[in-house]
Amino acid sequence: MTKNFLIKQYISDKKMKIKHNYLSEQFSNTKKIFKLINKTVKFNDFTLGKYVDVFEKEFCKYQKVKYAVGVGSGTDAIFLSLKALGVQEGDEVITPTYSFYATAGAIATTGAKPIFIDVKDDLNINENKIEEKITKKTKAIVPVHWSGRICNMKKIISIAKKYKLHVVEDACHAILAHDDDKKYAGNFGITGCFSMHPLKNLNIWGDGGIIATNNKKIYEKLRLMRNHGLVDRDNCKLYGYNSRLDTIQAAVALEMIKKINSITNARIKNANYLNKKLKLIKQIKLIKDQVNYKSVYHLYQFFCEKRNLLNKFLRKNKIDSKIHYPKPLHLHDAAKNLKYFKGQFKNAEKLSKKIISIPVHEFITKKQLNFIINKIEEFYKYEG
Ligand SMILES: *Cc1c(COP(=O)(O)O)cnc(C)c1O
């Protein structure tokens, strides 16, 4: 039987001194959030209540999109987007082999086949390998803005136009991220899909997601699909799903989005400091950023030698380093029927053996950053 493995993880994470999980600090004062939640409880508008509408409008301002639809999770945001575009069994959807499992899961649960593509050294989909994988069955491309670094969307959109494919952005890491034209995540494809999981940059007290779009037709359709296809109480226009952003979670999101600029700026500042120091260590290779991009560092990652040993060493020193992720998507059991093989996506396979993530969130102090840097230096002094 599959156990709830998260319980054990929560307990072990709590023992770390420099944590990846910063929720205790972030929610040390919950007065304002509980005030909004109390209003919801008094008014009883638990499903698609007022705060859902208010939050959707706020989100549009921050992400610079016309419309937004609050849904049950980031995974649902991708799934519903593909469903709304008519993606179904027999179709193919192109996506990178290096991502969180949900990207491929959302594609596969529509009935379509995920067609994996290798990634570049920034862990984003290699846009130069997309065209060779397009067939008559291809319906959509789902690029992932990994860790909040925008993909080469100019190229991806031009390919999509040429072959008449939909682009659904997995922007789960990419709130406030933009490219060199100051075009924000969610504005490139027909939809952009965001997660508000407790550990994402914009986070709530459970699961929730939001879909950004500038297309009115898709917007209308997604609003129906998330709520049983209901136009109003007595009229069902299409068979849909139940995937609504809870009003209580929308209340949390409304408070948190006020802080998203300062959260993001703190992450960028921490990442820049780490970059400056870690680039001096010869066993480490940093991930290069495009000069005018705004990358929002959902994760701070680098490639390194003796990765597993370094990870162990940092964790022994109570620094919550993590591996996101040790295996690309095509090598998991879930992909067995898709008939991929080891060695097929060389870069993703190579990078997943060298990647490591260290904490970068807004509550880390300069002293803690220096402690991490010193420990990494110490490790390579003896192991390098
Ligand atoms: C978190 C995440 C998702 C899924 O979001 P949930 O809200 O957890 O369903 C999808 N894609 C990526 C890249 C993610 O990191």
The mean per-residue pLDDT over the stretch 156-175 comes to: 98
Q: Is the pTM of this model over 0.85?
A: yes
Number of domains in the chain: 2
The mean per-residue pLDDT over the stretch 255-262 comes to: 97
Of 20, 82, 103, best ligand 1 pocket probe by most atoms within 8 Å of the beta carbon: 103
Of 150, 195, 211, best ligand 1 pocket probe by most atoms within 8 Å of the beta carbon: 195
Selection from 77, 83, 305 nearest residue 185 by Cα: 77
Q: Tell me what pLDDT residue 169 has.
A: 98
Question: pLDDT tens digits for 267-295?
Answer: 999 999 999 999 999 999 999 888 899 99
Domain identity same for 287 and 351: yes
The residue among 258, 273, 300 that closes a domain is: 258
Q: Which domain holds residue 370?
A: 5-25+259-383
Pick the atom of ligand 1 nearest to 76's CA.
9
Domain identity same for 271 and 246: no
Domain identity same for 147 and 283: no
Gap from CA of 73 to ligand 1 centroid (Å): 8
Domain identity same for 164 and 309: no
> How far from each other are the two terminal CA atoms of the chain, in whole angstroms?
42
Q: Tell me what pLDDT residue 303 has.
A: 98
User: Quick check: CB of 85 below 6 Å from ligand 1?
Assistant: no
Domain identity same for 165 and 268: no
Rounded (10°) CA dihedral 73, 75, 81, 83: -110
Cβ count near 38 (within 10 Å): 11
Question: pLDDT tens digits for 87-137?
Answer: 999 999 999 999 999 999 999 999 999 999 999 999 999 999 999 999 999
The residue among 202, 224, 258 that closes a domain is: 258
Domain identity same for 360 and 349: yes
Domain identity same for 123 and 269: no
Phi/psi region, residue 167 (left: phi>0; alpha: psi -120 to 50; beta: rest), is beta
Domain identity same for 16 and 32: no
Of 6, 107, 197, best ligand 1 pocket probe by most atoms within 8 Å of the beta carbon: 197
Domain identity same for 177 and 42: yes
Q: Judge whether 166 and 191 are in contact, CB under 8 Å.
A: no
The residue among 213, 240, 258 that closes a domain is: 258
Question: pLDDT tens digits for 313-336?
Answer: 999 999 999 999 999 999 999 999
Q: Residue 341 belongs to a domain with what CATH number?
A: 3.90.1150.10
Domain identity same for 49 and 102: yes
Band the pLDDT of 13: cuts 50, 70, 90.
confident
Domain identity same for 129 and 228: yes
Gap from CA of 153 to ligand 1 centroid (Å): 20
Domain identity same for 167 and 293: no
Residue of the nearest CA to atom 7 in ligand 1?
74
User: Quick check: CB of 195 below 6 Å from ligand 1?
Assistant: yes
User: Quick check: CB of 329 below 6 Å from ligand 1?
Assistant: no
Q: Judge whether 227 and 242 are in contact, CB under 8 Å.
A: yes
Q: Residue 93 belongs to a domain with what CATH number?
A: 3.40.640.10
What's phi and psi for 7, nearest 5 deg?
-55, -50
User: Quick check: CB of 189 below 6 Å from ligand 1?
Assistant: no
The mean per-residue pLDDT over the stretch 220-240 comes to: 97
Could you tell me the sign of the dihedral formed by the alpha carbons of 235, 239, 240, 241, in that order?
positive
Gap from CA of 27 to ligand 1 centroid (Å): 22
Pick the atom of ligand 1 nearest to 208's CA.
7
Q: Judge whether 202 and 148 are in contact, CB under 8 Å.
A: no
